[in-house]
Structure 1
Amino acid sequence: MTTRRLPLPRSKAQVDASLAIVNIVLLLIFFFLATGGLINSGAIEIALPETEELPLDMLPKPLIVVGADRSMTLDGVAVEPGTLGPLLVDFPTLHVLADRDTSAATVLSAIAAEDLVAVEIKLVTVHRNATVGAGAAE
């Protein structure tokens, strides 16, 4: 009786995934560089706030106060929605003050609805401290 040997099992060729992983990582890097460059190329500039101690009657002008119900007053005079643009023709900067209970979305939507052109907007905050008094930050 002759014994026959079985052929040795062939080793399966293993796929080297390191090249594919390197390609994916490089593609992700290029993607984030490209999309980050598009986002940063916008014309939006953000300046850090400067704090100044001012009495309430010395707040900057023109000052628009936005209420929680989107009502607006410009230097103490009520303003109807959509009529703010013509009032600011001579002023390159608009100072915005909002009540502490007013959400940022309300303030942004009220100002955006006015379609202001070439007007710089600065936020004004009022600091109330019993020992120091009132002040404003611009």
Structure 2
Amino acid sequence: MSLRLPVRHPERLRIDTSLAIVNIVLLLIFFFLVAGQETRTPQDLRLAQTSQIAPSALPSPILEIRSTTDWLLDGQPVSPDLLPAALSGSDDILHLMIDKDAEASLLISALGHPELASREVRLVTLRAGPGQ
């Protein structure tokens, strides 16, 4: 007695995607477990504060922005329109200082200035001393 088994045709094979679906579901579960955890902020967190110090103690050139028209370059008032002429003799690094309570739009509009586009801009923050 011979046993005849059906012949398998390679074109009839179907790929089983259940393992891939299970992997994706497990990855999503792990992602939502990690992303859903509440993070705690440290209790001793202190934000940096801006204080008044002499311009000679700051890196040069430093551009201090107080408002849309009140700009200081190395302690000297400068108009935003005259900034290219004032920065013509300096290197490619410009230090930028702005008050932490200033609106974000003030910083964004200052960084959009054409003269600052070709320079490396470094934000400068000043830590207030212990009695301030």
TM-score, L = length of structure 1: 0.48
- Does residue 128 of structure 2 align to residue 92 of structure 1? no
After superposition, where does 1:1-138 map in structure 2 within 5 Å?
A: 57-89=56-88, 90-130=90-130
Partners of 2:120 and 2:59 lie apart in 1 by: 13
Other structure's SS at 1:94 match: strand
RMSD: 3.1
Other structure's SS at 2:101 match: coil
Percent sequence identity over aligned pairs: 30
Other structure's SS at 1:65 match: strand
1:23-82 superposed Cα distances (whole Å, 9 cap, x missing partner): xxxxxxxxxxxxxxxxxxxxxxxxxxxxxxxx8742100011001445211011111122
Q: Which runs of 5+ in 1 are unaligned?
A: 1-17, 22-54, 132-138
Q: 1:61 to 1:113 in 2, by over 3 A?
A: same
Q: Which runs of 5+ in 2 are unaligned?
A: 1-17, 22-53
Name the structure with the higher helix share.
2
Partners of 1:110 and 1:126 lie apart in 2 by: 19
Quick one: which amino acid aligns to residue 58 of structure 1?
Answer: A
Partners of 2:109 and 2:87 lie apart in 1 by: 18
1:84-135 superposed Cα distances (whole Å, 9 cap, x missing partner): 122222321100001122123211202313443521100000001317xxxx
Other structure's SS at 2:125 match: strand
Number of positions where the alignment pairs a residue of Structure 1 with one of Structure 2: 87
Q: Which moved more, 1:108-117 or 1:58-67?
A: 108-117
Q: Is residue 70–residue 110 contact of structure 1 (8 Å, CA) maintained in 2?
A: no
Partners of 2:63 and 2:95 lie apart in 1 by: 6
Q: Is residue 61–residue 94 contact of structure 1 (8 Å, CA) maintained in 2?
A: yes
